[in-house]
């Protein structure tokens, strides 16, 4: 078993990979030589795959998972966890906004044995655009107010996980892999490690604000039923307001200070508002029903087309109940799992 695995999701990152590898190799010199770097790649249109394959030829510790289609960052991370072999696994981005020089302190804390999870926590989100900061704040606030587990604020997927934690995560039957929440679900003591997030080392971000909104909404749906309860409360509130408005209209008509004919505009606004509330409620209900639908289908989170540098692959029958990926493409530098 390898001592340390780095899981790095990538998509069109030809500009960032060389600088990342140069930096992380230098950092790991003072940590361990027994490591692997797994690039979990959604199909890219640039030279990302070519660069990683060339790096693997020069250094077998650099490995590649190439998926059959774009499954997204959460699925790529899950694929990397599935294929990792380290006693500790660090999940991080390639753009070095998650600074590699934090890894030695993460490993030191883990080696002490008291904590199974080490989570770097941003001191600020100054590098994020305003929309992303608002989305992140609202999502963390709502989840921590309503969920049964606490998810640390200002902490992304950048974290160190003990092998025991990784194995427990891979046992979960979750189709939507929301790592931040699932880490909290399995428990184990964690340590927060403050750090300053840096600008990207090269290129532009490939996972946009809309993707972050989707991931955040997915986390809310997955870890809280509060939105369903909120629909009920909103229904009673709207019904109460409608009742009060009706009483006011009747009282106004009787007293003579209000005529129904002049209130058509008000009535139209009220009906539009109530209709909008109904559609919002239907949308929330649909999101939960959609989640149930996805979970019952039990489709795999990811499908690997090519695995480079792995000598043993985790097949579904060996890897637990979570749908794992059987490599349908080439397994290079080794044979399929025994």
Q: In this structure, what token pair is assigned to residue 88?
A: 């500790």
For the residues 117-144, what does the mean pLDDT come to?
70
Between 288 and 186, residue with greater pLDDT: 186
DSSP secondary structure code for residue 256 in this structure? T
Examine the pLDDT at 105 and tell me if it is beyond 70: yes
Q: Are the CB atoms for 111 and 105 separated by under 8 Å?
A: no
pLDDT band at 187 (very low <50, low <70, confident <90, very high): confident
Distance between CA atoms of 36 and 86, rounded to whole angstroms?
Answer: 8
Would you state the pLDDT for residue 89? 95
- The domain covering 4-224+300-332 belongs, at the CATH homologous superfamily level, to Spore Coat Polysaccharide Biosynthesis Protein SpsA; Chain A (3.90.550.10)
Give tens-digit pLDDT for 294-315. Answer: 667 677 788 888 888 887 666 4
For the residues 78-101, what does the mean pLDDT come to?
90
Distance between CA atoms of 226 and 145, rounded to whole angstroms?
Answer: 9
The predicted model scores a pTM of: 0.67
For the residues 74-99, what does the mean pLDDT come to?
90
Between 295 and 40, residue with greater pLDDT: 40
Runs of H (alpha helix) within 147-263? 163-171, 179-186, 209-223, 226-255
Residue extents of the structural domains in the chain: 4-224+300-332, 226-297
For the residues 309-325, what does the mean pLDDT come to?
51
What lies within 8 Å, CB to CB, of 22 at 6+ separation is: none
Would you state the pLDDT for residue 320? 37
Give tens-digit pLDDT for 276-299. Answer: 677 667 767 766 776 676 667 677
Q: Are the CB atoms for 48 and 66 separated by under 8 Å?
A: no
Would you state the pLDDT for residue 122? 82
Mean pLDDT (the chain) is 75
Between 264 and 278, residue with greater pLDDT: 278
For 22-26, 99-103, 241-245, which range has the lowest pLDDT when averaged over its residues? Answer: 241-245
Between 257 and 327, residue with greater pLDDT: 257
């Amino acid at each position: 078993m390898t001592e340390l695995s780095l899981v790095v999701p990538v998509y069109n990152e030809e500009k960032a990979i060389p600088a990342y590898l140069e930096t992380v190799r230098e950092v790991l010199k003072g940590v361990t030589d027994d490591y692997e770097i797994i690039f979990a790649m959604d199909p890219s249109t640039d030279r990302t795959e070519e660069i990683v394959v060339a790096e693997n030829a020069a250094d077998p510790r650099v490995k590649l998972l190439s998926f059959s289609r774009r499954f997204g960052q959460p699925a790529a991370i899950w694929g990397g966890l599935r294929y990792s072999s380290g006693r500790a696994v660090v999940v991080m981005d390639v753009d070095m906004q998650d600074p590699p020089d934090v890894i030695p302190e993460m490993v030191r804390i883990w080696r002490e044995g008291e904590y199974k999870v080490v989570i770097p926590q941003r001191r600020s989100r100054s590098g994020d655009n305003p929309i992303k900061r608002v989305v992140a704040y609202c999502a963390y606030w709502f989840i921590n107010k309503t969920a049964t587990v606490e998810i640390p604020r200002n902490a992304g997927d950048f974290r160190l996980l003990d092998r025991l934690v990784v194995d427990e995560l891979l046992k979960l039957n979750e189709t939507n892999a929301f790592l931040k929440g699932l880490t909290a679900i399995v428990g184990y003591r964690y340590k927060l490690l403050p750090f300053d997030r840096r600008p990207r080392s090269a290129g532009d971000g490939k996972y946009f604000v809309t993707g972050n909104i989707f991931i955040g909404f997915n986390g809310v749906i997955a870890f809280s039923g509060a939105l369903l309860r909120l629909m009920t409360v909103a229904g009673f509130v709207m019904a109460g307001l409608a009742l009060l408005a009706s009483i006011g209209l009747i009282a106004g008509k009787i007293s003579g200070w209000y005529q129904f004919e002049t209130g058509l505009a008000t009535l139209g606004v009220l009906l539009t508002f109530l209709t909008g509330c109904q559609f919002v409620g239907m949308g929330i209900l649909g999101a939960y029903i959609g989640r149930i639908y996805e979970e019952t289908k039990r489709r795999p989170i990811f499908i690997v087309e090519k695995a480079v540098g792995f000598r043993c692959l985790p097949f579904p029958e060996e890897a637990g109940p979570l749908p794992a990926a059987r490599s349908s493409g080439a397994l290079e530098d080794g044979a399929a799992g025994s």
